Amino acid sequence: MAAKTGVRTSVRIVVAGDRGTGKSSLIAAAATESFPDSVPAVLPPTHLPADFYADGVPLTIIDSSSSTDNKSKLYEELKRADAVLLTYACDQPMTLGRLTSYWLNELRQLEVKAPVILVGCKLDLRDEHQQVSMEDIVAPIMKQFREIETCIECSAATLLQVPEVFYYAQRAVLHPTAPLFDLERQSLKPRCKNALRRIFTLCDRDMDGALSDEELNEFQVKCFNAPLQPAEIVGVKRIVQENLPSGVNDRGLTLPGFLFLHALFIEKGRLETTWAVLRKFGYDDDLNLSGDYLPVPSKQAPDQSMELSNEALDFLRGVFQLLDTDNDGALRPIELEELFSTAPESPWDEPPYKDSAEKTALGNLTLNGFLSRWALMTILDPPRSLANLIYIGYGGDPAKALHVTRRRLVDRKKQRTERNVFQCFVFGPKKAGKSALLNTLIRRPFSKNYSSTTEDGYVMTMLESAQGGQKTLILREIPEDGVQKFLSHEECLAGCDVAVFVYDSSNEDSWNRSRELLVEVARKGEVSGFGVPCIVIAAKDDLDTSPLAVQDSVRVCQGLGIEAPIPASSKSGDSSNVFNKILSAAEHPHANIPETERGRNRKRYHKLFNRSLIFVSVGAAVGVIGLAAFRAYAARKNTSN
């Protein structure tokens, strides 16, 4: 079990295996430090105190029954386990075979993610004449089942290596090998390298590419609360230089040398050293920054969103200029790779970020596209945005890197907005031209090839606002087949600044479907209280338009109280007028909100209801005053008599 800080407060170990392999005897021997004369078939949960091992974390050991009647309980315990011990009997080779034919496959089927320790029990009963090479037997099994952390054999009868069994299980949880080291390649894993690279960069205060003796000592004190003696520093450098000449130069320990040292610690079984360093710099077991290092402000309402602060944006502009070594105003893929070399991985290699921003003809990312991607990540995943800011070197106060916007509902009442990032949802039937519109926003060439969209797609860019400054416009395409699922969520429109409805102006059926979507969204806004400005776009304006579609679209928009459809042609390539109108609608959140007949009737009803309440209140007040006057009159009359 891990506390919110990511520091383990206890470790839960489940012991499983075939009947008669020594599970209960092993647990009892560890707890009592003696071999029990008899043990029950299944022991109750056994606790080893915090001071049992040096790490100071208590253990809870769960025994299990091999009976098929107790399978569901065993499965439940295995899913809750921090580590699993699978036992076999050293005097019964068949039980070792059962680990691969049954138990390990069973754990995979249950999707148990905990590390596994293979434990050979009853070592004292193995035939002395039977020559067994543990490495020869276990190596193929560990190669097939990577979840196995290690294998150890023991004897509860002689107490041989019994404490070590649970020590290795605890260590597999507190200091796991899998996130750090690739045993097959005998090298640090990429995420581990990136984390250590970031730590090296933070410790290299003079940024000369090497840790001086003074910087090494500061690092040592920060991580282990004790400085290195001069002779120890000399010794560390000598070991590195003997094995990796490039690991040391005249300025100190280089990054390759720093990485080599940690690989050496792990190879020698000192994983706790590398984990102590990683945790001191805020990393959790998955080599992400833990939540305590990510003070993300919380939204109070669903119609609020998150944006980067001006300080964070200035930092990102500076980073862009620093990486743009050829001063061409764009970052090449290799330069982006360098940017995220201190992050667990690039956050932009997968949708919705990949291919969502403006690039040059050579495929390089412009400053506009660079900042737009950060804006999208901040809206969709604020913790990830903040974490990556920190990974790439943001040195400001993390608590002030992001800020929560005012509620959209308040913006509509005040008839103005302070937002700098606007999210617009794009609806429309298939083949209406939605994707082509999105591509036009980021200057992607028009393509005649049609492919149906099945997932939400995003594009974004920065536009000059008529009110001054630059604003980020995010377009999110909602596929037609996904509209009903989207609208089934009560707060689906809470994060929307403008709803855009696209139809093929040459196709009457396309308009009819778009009209249905427009009315559905308008009604959803009225019912949920998250009504949004709506814009209709008559796409494919370069084709012969359908007169009926044009006439009806104008009539419908007029009836809903929104602007007439905007003609557009993605093929012509110039849709700046369309995007400026979308931006303008977002900046005027009170205008262009459609009102359906049902909505008008509801509004009239509320007005009548409120008015009747006023009349009732006034009548009640008059009645109260009259009653009071009558009582006063009666009192005076009684007094006079």
The vertex-350 CA angle with 348 and 354, nearest 5°, equals 60
Residue 11's pLDDT is 96
The structure tokens listed for 423 are: 């999210």
Q: Which of 47, 52, 93, 87 is nearest to 66 (CA)?
A: 87
Residue type, 138: V
Question: What is the rounded distance in angstroms from the CA atom of residue 537 to the CA atom of residue 517?
Answer: 13
Residue 452's pLDDT is 76
> Any bridge partners for residue 427, and if so which?
501
CB 292 within 8 A of CB 4: yes
Question: What is the rounded distance in angstroms from the CA atom of residue 576 to the CA atom of residue 442?
Answer: 11
The structure tokens listed for 266 are: 């792990």
CB 458 within 8 A of CB 439: no
Question: What is the rounded distance in angstroms from the CA atom of residue 109 to the CA atom of residue 323?
Answer: 46
Residue 346's pLDDT is 95
Question: What is the rounded distance in angstroms from the CA atom of residue 580 to the CA atom of residue 6?
Answer: 47
CB atoms within 10 A of CB 507: 20
pLDDT in tens, 545-600: 999 999 999 999 999 999 999 999 988 877 788 999 999 999 999 999 999 988 77
Question: What is the rounded distance in angstroms from the CA atom of residue 69 to the CA atom of residue 616?
Answer: 69
> Any bridge partners for residue 8, and if so which?
2
CB 541 within 8 A of CB 570: no
In the CATH scheme, what is the code of domain 187-287?
Answer: 1.10.238.10
Burial of 231 (0-12, 13-18, 19+ CB in 10 A): exposed
The structure tokens listed for 549 are: 């579609």
Residue 629's pLDDT is 52
The structure tokens listed for 94 are: 């068949």
Find how far residue 180's CA is from the centre of its chain.
21
Q: Which of 190, 206, 127, 162 is nearest to 48 (CA)?
A: 162
84: enclosing H helix or E strand:
strand 83-89
Rounded to the nearest 10 degrees, how much is the dihedral formed by the CA atoms of 323, 325, 330, 336?
-40
Residues of the chain with CATH 1.10.238.10: 187-287, 307-405
In the CATH scheme, what is the code of domain 307-405?
Answer: 1.10.238.10
Pairing of strands 11-17, 59-62: parallel
In the CATH scheme, what is the code of domain 11-174?
Answer: 3.40.50.300
Burial of 635 (0-12, 13-18, 19+ CB in 10 A): exposed
566: enclosing H helix or E strand:
strand 566-567
Residue 623's pLDDT is 54
Which residues, given as ranges, of the chain have pLDDT below 70? Answer: 1-7, 130-131, 602-641
Q: Which of 405, 390, 387, 521 is nearest to 472 (CA)?
A: 405
End-to-end, the C-alpha distance of the chain in Å comes to: 85
pLDDT in tens, 225-275: 999 999 999 999 999 999 999 999 999 999 999 999 999 999 988 999 999
Question: What is the rounded distance in angstroms from the CA atom of residue 239 to the CA atom of residue 229?
Answer: 16
Residue 279 dihedral angles phi and psi, to the nearest 5°: -70, -30
Cα-Cα-Cα-Cα dihedral sign, residues 20, 21, 22, 27: negative
Residue 621 dihedral angles phi and psi, to the nearest 5°: -65, -45
pTM of the predicted protein model? 0.85
- Cβ contacts of 488 within 8 Å, gap of 6 or more: none
Residues of the chain with CATH 3.40.50.300: 11-174, 420-595
Question: What is the rounded distance in angstroms from the CA atom of residue 317 to the CA atom of residue 346?
Answer: 18
In the CATH scheme, what is the code of domain 420-595?
Answer: 3.40.50.300
Residue 88 dihedral angles phi and psi, to the nearest 5°: -140, 160
Residue carrying structure tokens 């994983």? 271
* HEC assignment per residue over 345-403: CCCCCCCCCCCCECECCCCCEEHHHHHHHHHHHHHHCHHHHHHHHHHCCCCCCHHHCEE
Q: Which of 290, 285, 288 is nearest to 115 (CA)?
A: 285
CB atoms within 10 A of CB 220: 18
Question: What is the rounded distance in angstroms from the CA atom of residue 428 to the CA atom of residue 499?
Answer: 11
Going from the C-alpha of 460 to that of each of 4, 255, 330, 356, 384, the distances in angstroms are 35, 37, 16, 7, 18
Q: Angle 162-174/271-280 helices, nearest 10 degrees? A: 30
